[in-house]
């Protein structure tokens, strides 16, 4: 694993090599979640329409996925579309909804070669048929892969997830499947859409905004947060490795000493 990694990155730019040396491969976060922010501003800065930023952002997804896979991250959750993003102009929403049918045909072979498994966290209801078809096809084709899980948060909102979870819990209490006294943090987690995934160890947000924007609210209770001014389309492997290195320097105490 390490040899493959070093071999593959030997030809890379100096900063990536330097950052790679800072990473302790036995302390890599299992789950990294990313809020890919700043596509619109990146485009505006270049005199381009906002959707050009989303397109460029889409192209960055594979690069960072490969970097995460190579250092041994197990789950990478990317915030691709929130339940609030429907409020954007129709043309922008339509463009975002069409990205999966461009992304997967373009990248799926390489993702498969690298043993990446695709999954989705969010509500299928409300997504156009063609979006679902593209993502479901990728999920199906990669379902036996055992490497990194590339989890797209699509039509996802943390509060909606918690409310849906609480509704399900109440139904289970009414049907006798759950006793009120049995409810603890583990049981609550089992009602979240990510019940089979570890909680994120590290949350990265690009573009300089210091907000959570309704992302994995229950799951990030103890996550380390890392922010960068870089807009998502310009977020590099080097910055990703810097985030990992800083995560490794922090002492996680989970409320203890
Ligand atoms: C936030 O930037 C970004 C999004 C709402 C979309 C992110 C989606 C991608 C990068 C592509 C995902 C790829 C696939 C295959 C689904 P913003 O538009 O809010 O930026 P701004 O704050 O500068 O306006």
Q: pTM for this structure? A: 0.93
Q: Give me the pLDDT at residue 10, please.
A: 45
List per-block mean pLDDT (blocks of 10 residues) for the chain, which spans 257 residues: 50 64 93 98 98 98 97 98 98 98 98 98 98 98 98 98 98 98 98 98 98 98 98 98 96 78
Sign of CA dihedral 235, 240, 245, 251: positive
Q: Give me the pLDDT at residue 253, please.
A: 77
Q: Can you tell me which residue has the tokens 């909606």?
A: 160
Domain assignment of residue 182, yes or no: yes
Domain assignment of residue 240, yes or no: no
Nearest CA to ligand 1 atom 10: 57
Q: Give me the pLDDT at residue 8, please.
A: 57
Establish whether 85 is a catalytic residue: yes
Domain assignment of residue 184, yes or no: yes
How many degrees, rounded to 5, is the angle at CA 149 between CA 193 and CA 199?
A: 50
Question: How many domains does one find in the chain?
Answer: 1
Q: How far is CA 91 from CA 61, 96, 98, 177, 181, in A?
A: 22, 9, 11, 45, 48
12 in a known ligand binding site: no
Q: Give me the pLDDT at residue 19, please.
A: 81
How many whole angstroms separate alpha carbon 28 and alpha carbon 198? 14
Q: Give me the pLDDT at residue 256, please.
A: 83
Q: How far is CA 156 from CA 217, 224, 232, 237, in A?
A: 11, 21, 19, 26
Domain assignment of residue 180, yes or no: yes
Distance 54 CA to ligand 1 centre (A): 5
Domain assignment of residue 189, yes or no: yes
168 in a known ligand binding site: no
Domain assignment of residue 19, yes or no: no
Task: Give the tens place of pLDDT for each residue, 66-123.
Answer: 999 999 999 999 999 999 999 999 999 999 999 999 999 999 999 999 999 999 999 9
Q: Which residues line ligand 1 (CB under 6 A)?
A: 36-41, 54, 57-58, 61, 80, 85, 96, 99-100, 103, 152, 207, 232
Establish whether 37 is a catalytic residue: yes
Other Cβ atoms within 10 Å of 132 Cβ, number: 18
How many degrees, rounded to 5, is the angle at CA 245 between CA 244 and CA 250?
A: 95
Domain assignment of residue 181, yes or no: yes
Domain assignment of residue 176, yes or no: yes
Instruction: Quote the domain boundaries for residue 164.
Output: 157-198
How many whole angstroms separate alpha carbon 127 and alpha carbon 219? 24
């Amino acid at each position: 694993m390490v040899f493959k990694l070093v071999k593959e990155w030997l030809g890379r730019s100096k900063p990536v090599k330097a950052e790679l040396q800072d990473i302790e491969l036995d302390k890599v976060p299992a789950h990294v979640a990313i809020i890919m922010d700043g596509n619109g501003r990146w485009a505006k800065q270049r005199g381009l329409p906002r959707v050009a930023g989303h397109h460029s952002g889409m192209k960055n997804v594979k690069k960072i996925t490969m970097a995460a896979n190579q250092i041994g991250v197990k789950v990478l959750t990317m915030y691709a579309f929130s339940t609030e993003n429907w409020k954007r102009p129709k043309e922008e929403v339509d463009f975002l909804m069409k990205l999966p049918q461009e992304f997967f045909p373009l990248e799926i072979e390489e993702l498969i070669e690298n043993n990446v498994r695709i999954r989705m966290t969010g509500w299928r209801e409300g997504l156009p048929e063609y979006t679902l078809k593209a993502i479901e096809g990728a999920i199906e084709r990669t379902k036996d892969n055992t490497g990194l899980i590339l989890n797209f948060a699509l039509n996802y909102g943390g509060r909606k997830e918690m409310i849906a979870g609480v509704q399900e819990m109440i139904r289970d209490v009414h049907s006798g499947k759950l006793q009120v006294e049995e409810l603890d943090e583990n049981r609550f987690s089992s009602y979240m859409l990510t019940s089979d995934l570890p909680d994120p160890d590290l949350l990265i947000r690009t573009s300089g905004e210091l907000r959570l924007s309704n992302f994995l609210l229950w799951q990030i209770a103890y996550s380390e947060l890392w922010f960068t001014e870089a807009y998502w389309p310009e977020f590099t492997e080097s910055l990703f490795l810097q985030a990992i290195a800083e995560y490794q320097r922090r002492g996680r105490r989970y409320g203890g000493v």
